[in-house]
Amino acid sequence: MDQLNPYNAELSGLSLIEASAGTGKTYTITGLYVRLVLEQGYGVENILVVTFTNAATAELRDRIRSRLVAVLQAFEAGGGDNDYCRELFARCADHDQAIRRLRYAVLGFDQAAIFTIHGFCQRVLTDSAFESGMPFESELLVEQGDLLQEIVDDFWRCNVQDVPTGLADYLLAQKVTPEKLLIAVQGGLGKPYLEIRGAVLPADFLIVEAEFHAAFKQARELWLEAEDAVREMLRADTSLNGNKYRKSSLENWFVALDGYLGSTPGPWFEQFAKFSTTALSGATKKGQTAPLHPFFDACEDLLEAHDSLDLAYQRALVALKQNLLAYCDQELRARKEQQHVQSYDDLLLNLNAALGAEHSVELARSIRNRYTAVLIDEFQDTDPTQYQIFSRIYGESDQPVFLVGDPKQAIYSFRGADIFAYHQAKTDARQSYTLDLNWRSDPRLIAAVNALFDQSHHSFFYDWITFHGAKSPAVARDELLDNGSPEAPLRVWFQGHDPKPMARVEAEQLATRATAAEISRLLQQGQDGETRIGDSNLSGGDIAVLVRSHRQGQMIGRQLRMLGIHSVQQSRENVFHSHEAVELERVLCAVAEPGRQSLVMAALATDMLAINGNAIDELMGDEQQLEQHLGFFQTQHQQWQEHGFMRMFRHLLAEGDIAKRLLSLVQGERRLTNLQHLGELLHQRDIDGQPGMDGLIKWLSRCRQTSGQGSEEAELRLESDENLVQIVTIHKSKGLQYPIVFCPFLWDGKLHSETAKSFSFHDDLHGLQPVLELGSETIEESRPQAVQEEFAEGIRLLYVALTRAQHRCYFVWGNLAGAGKSALAWLLHPAESVPQTAEAFKQLDNEMLQQRLDEVVQQSAGGILVEPLPGGDGMPILSMAAKQLADGVRHLTRGLNSTSRVTSFTALASGHSGELPDYDAQQPRPAAERTAHNIFGFPRGARAGCCLHAIFEQLDFAGCHRPGLEQLVHATLQAHGFAMEWMHVIADMVERVLATPLNAQGLCLQNIGQKQRLIELEFYYPLAPVDGAGLRAILLNHGFVAEGNPIRNAMERLDFMAVSGFMKGFIDLVFEVDGRFYLVDYKSNWLGDEVEAYAPECLTKVIAREDYYLQYLFYTLALHRYLGQRLPDYDYDQHFGGVFYFFLRGMNQARGADYGVYQNLPKKGLIEALDKYLIADG
């Protein structure tokens, strides 16, 4: 590939220009444009310039015009002082003619043919309606979502509502809705070049269903007939492997089996296979005979029938998706023709179809005559349809066509961009050029990136994407001066102190903290004048953090805020997927129906209006206040009805004081920006479609539920134009540059196509045919190709990320979970394929990883510095104003009492300041993960604890019924990010907890009504100065527990520094029965995979180890004081019933209070002594 000479490049035929990062792509395009005007005499209306976004079109238009003006001025001045202009002037034979051409171009520049690809197609179809065969009058449909949803709803009514009951139940269990079906196929719409691979509805579908029901009936009848015999046979059996058939596990399987073999099939459970003849035989000890029974044979048959039916259902769902895709393509085209409208995608499809039709020769000729030269920018983002359009127009001509792009930066496959279409163009090009002068980055940073990518293997995975090392032009540039740090511009933070790979979550946290800490150091030194770029002190706007996802960006933003550093987040995330969109929908629903109290209450609870739960509860008893709130929404309703959406929206923001309220929250500017952005989009929709209240809210709801990036208009906007640290997704950063760049997550090699149920790929066995795989029988055969393509794009993302920096770039690398599938692994430790690279990476130790980095450092000639990944959190940064203020204040010379503060059980027990509800975040994590699909296998940790707590907080104990319980569990699991496969497991657990007798009198939660309980009782009480020694002495003096009790041993080790101020906490549940009050704390701790692990002696050890005894004493004291203030005749012995700690995983009505329930009733004397010692007067 030749280096492009801007003065000699041939102005004829198809030319491909590969412009590496920072090499002046736009400058090259404007230079070629000027040559076409000067040398070929083309008018600006005859030079077609095409790019892919409105913003890029506007920038190109401005840059081309400026270049024309500059060259014209230079020619009028006899050559000027610019090298490019002087060279053009020297090469020009007729200066007068050149000046006339340039003047004509500048004066007529309003007629310049600079378009987006859609704008070009629309112009051609409009101006050549006769040749293209298109209607003379057709309206552009900006948003086709409503029409598409209408088509999907029609398909649902015709093809889904009348499916067999079993399939309907399956679709219901899979949460299939018209909206979700549309999301599943939307990526294939309007792409006629795609081969769709799916399935057809099985012809023997009804036969498979019948065989299943026959097998189920047989197994059920045998179970009902021989249940006791089967139970005893397996309980008493000694021939089976005890690890595979544990006695405790058997009991859980029997419960699940009862649930499944009901009058109709119940919840399926994976352990059903344990009852099959094959599984029993496979688990039999050597030399022994497996238990035999006709029931096991029936289970074998049922298992096979279930798997066959499940496979048939899966194929039926795939067939539905494939049929929907075909139906949508057909119906969309027909209905849009009927309504005389075209969408943006139709513009391309219709022009391409016209160019392939009978009169295409005339159409192509007319386009060539109008646009005698073509410059296409960002061509690496093309797709087969777009390339075919230009190939059909200019493929056989000798007219100049320049395709400018960089395959190394092709990162938009999620938008339909196709790197293989670029490959085809590269093959077709008459001449190919490269640009290799990097005008963006410092010379040593260029050398460092070259060293990383210039490998002996194919750095970008495909042999036709070649890496040409960039060069640095000999020009003066500002330098980064950092007095406190070495000068190497590419910094590798290496994690290599642990022989085992660091877990992904831990690595993310460490990388986040290190990034924030280094940014804090740089900015602090920038304020002090120690870190500068040229003559300017470094500021926040000089720094960018590049991330892959919005979630990673939020992590960085939170950590920066902890250090007092403000940031602004840029991404291609869709504003309709924001929290503000959820809240706005709730508020608009209340505005649309102000008479529905439930909608109004939901709206009041949003952050926009910020009425908390207690206030809402009080509202229900205060008719006057309630009427005021209802009246507020009635007013907004009238505003919307009489004056339109935007008038109402502005009135709502003003009257509800929403802007001020949001700005007071964390990330307030971001949230207000999102809300105002949503308001504008809704306003535009209201103007364009006039859908009315209900229609506009439905549109908002549909936009929220639609996956994908959406349009440019829906991308998150900048919330501030201040000079702040920028957090940017790599996709959003393309085309931009920043003085200092951090890339903390490049090591994460997660590949979504490894587990996706559908994906796109190119079939290399059939000429790289683009394929949409919806779930055909060959999906697993195709998956490696899809993984390979995603992996290759990850390498290109890495290149984009590392080439954004002008002066310095940081990234993290090392022995990290998931790093073996990252792009960095391919560059540094490649193997033959993606799986082989990942497998080979596992065999590398820290020394090997370090050694390979050292080799690259040597190649970079000092441009790369490898240093350990920092572990500190960084120091909070002071603003200049704060520093000046601090310098001017007097210094405190006496000591302050640091013991007075708000504390909690968590703070005293762990030494950390925790004041949130206790959700078992401190429970120890077992060494090995469990995978059993029962309550013992349910995930552990704080998130699981929050989820289970939330269920019990919302549950009506006495009114609990299975359908309502499953609905609650489903919603709560979804809200906390757990798979729906746990729904029945959790619902069963809740029913067991409610039914478990808590004492000999039969006390149980299912008899506790709503009015008998308090949920999440929050307390504060003044705390006198206390320390561990004093508290220990009181407990020992009152004989809290006997010697030998694990709690006694823990109590004797009790030690913490003196503290005073306030004690704060939350009691999960307080309930009253027969005049006695009990307190409850829910514990989701995993103690083992058997019920026996939750026996009393085991619970006592946990209570001691986790210092829960302190917790329930503090809670008892809080409730003691609470009751004393509210019951006029309060007496501890009469009214306090005791403490219950529910270890939820181990509770079972069959075992009663002996398992999973820890209970205690502290003596009155101890509580009174703690009252005197702990609680300060007042």
Half-sphere exposure of 513 (CA within 13 A, CB side): 12
Owner of token pair 């979700």: 180
Residues facing 1064 on adjacent strands: 1020
Does 1089 qualify as catalytic in the annotation? no
Contact in structure between 904 and 1063 (CB atoms under 8 Å): yes
CB atoms within 10 A of CB 334: 11
For the chain, what is the radius of gyration of the CA atoms?
Answer: 35
Nearest CA to 791 among 744, 758, 838, 843?
838
- For residue 621 the two structure tokens come to 């008893």
Contact in structure between 1081 and 1027 (CB atoms under 8 Å): no
DSSP state of 877: P
Alpha helices, DSSP H, located in 644-691 = 645-655, 658-663, 668-689
CA distance 423 to 465: 9
Identify how many contiguous H helices and E strands the chain contains and give both numbers. Answer: 44, 28
φ/ψ of residue 246, rounded to 5:
-75, 145
φ/ψ of residue 656, rounded to 5:
-85, 0
For the chain, the residue count is 1178
b/e burial code for range 990-1022 (CB count within 10 A of at least 16 → b): bebbbbbebbeeebbbeebeeeebebebebebe
Amino acid at 586: R
Q: Cα–Cα distances in Å, from 1003 out to 344, 962, 995, 1077?
A: 67, 21, 9, 12
CA distance 667 to 814: 32
What strands lie across the sheet with 769-773, from one edge to the other? Answer: 195-197, 769-773, 759-763
Half-sphere exposure of 14 (CA within 13 A, CB side): 17
CA distance 608 to 660: 10
CB atoms within 10 A of CB 488: 19
Residue 442, SS3 per DSSP: coil
- For residue 734 the two structure tokens come to 């393309």
Encode 898-923 in three state secondary structure.
Answer: CCEEEECHHHHHHCCCCCCCCCCCCC
Contact in structure between 355 and 126 (CB atoms under 8 Å): no
Alpha carbon 843 to its chain's center: 31
DSSP state of 663: H
User: Among the options 301, 383, 406, 1081, which is catalytic?
Assistant: 1081
Owner of token pair 């999907």: 152
CA distance 1085 to 1088: 9
Contact in structure between 716 and 578 (CB atoms under 8 Å): yes
CA distance 173 to 499: 44
φ/ψ of residue 482, rounded to 5:
-125, 100
Alpha carbon 929 to its chain's center: 24
Angle formed at CA 922 by CA 921 and CA 926, multiple of 5 degrees:
105
CA distance 347 to 351: 6
CA distance 905 to 1111: 6
Half-sphere exposure of 587 (CA within 13 A, CB side): 27
CA distance 1038 to 1109: 15
Active-site residues: which are they?
1081
